[in-house]
Amino acid sequence: MHNRMMVTGAGSGLGREIALRWARDGWQLALSDVNEAGLEQTLKMVREAGGDGFSMRCDVRDYSQLVAFAQACEEKLGGIDIVVNNAGVASGGFFDELSLEDWDWQIAINLMGVVKGCKAFLPLVQKSKGKIINIASMAALMQAPGMSNYNVAKAGVVALSESLLVELRQAEVGVHVVCPSFFQTNLLDSFRGPTPNVKAQIGKLLESSPITAADIADYIHQQVGKGEFMILPHDEGRKAWKVKQQNPQAIYDEMALLAEKKRSKSKAL
């Protein structure tokens, strides 16, 4: 193991914390994001934490940029051992309010960005017999109301990861998928939705979450070490998923009530 990791969306939030967690073990980090200022900051923090590496601006919607990033990893680091497809954007709105553009934007970044990251880096990770870590969301498993485009994109990331898990076992490439619940992050900076009050509601959810992005990065580090495929960093997320596996209808009823609440709130405002 040469200890080289690539992280997309590394300019802030969970991407930055994942980079820092592995940097503390002395890893070489290849960092990308569309936010160059955040990216420079992360690289500086990585070096202070005991790691090293390089950063490169990369929009995950553009496959050629991801291929160039993979080439840079080969030239500068001699390859990659762990690929972290983390870049993502938040979104919300009831299905009848969401435009097809909202759908295209969400799928292009949150789903196809991960597909393209896997595709561009697969040759490197096969060569190193490394690992792929895809960041999905509890939304992929629970399908909360008022964010169908986000739910679908993230559920796609889970299905992609399951497909890769079984296809790449023979090649000795490990695959992991992470489903965090809401946590304190700047995901809302990229938030797009038809109604500003939805953004405020999600903001409240984020504030009430006691677990930080750094805590989640720690948990991911620990579970990847154990070889766990489906990584659910939140205790309440693990509980909810257990309930859904045994009694999906209970969750659907709960979510339908939540939908009513959300709708009456947005009408009230």
Cα radius of gyration (the chain): 18
The closest of 65, 162, 174 to 128, measured between CA atoms, is 174
The closest of 28, 228, 43, 32 to 128, measured between CA atoms, is 28
Phi, psi at 53, each rounded to 5° = 140, -150
In sequence order, what are the residues at sequence separation of 6 or more whose Cβ sits closer than 8 angstroms to the Cβ of residue 257? Answer: none
CB-neighbour burial class of residue 159 (10 A; exposed 0-12, middle 13-18, buried 19+) = middle
In sequence order, what are the residues at sequence separation of 6 or more whose Cβ sits closer than 8 angstroms to the Cβ of residue 79? Answer: 2, 4, 73, 124, 127, 128
Q: Is the dihedral of CA 116, 126, 137, 163 positive or negative?
A: positive
Q: How far apart are CA 61 and CA 142, in angstroms?
A: 26
Structure tokens at 230: 């489906």
Active site residue 150: yes
Q: How far apart are CA 107 and CA 245, in angstroms?
A: 26
Distances (CA, A) of 104 to 90, 109, 225: 13, 9, 35
State the catalytic residues: 150
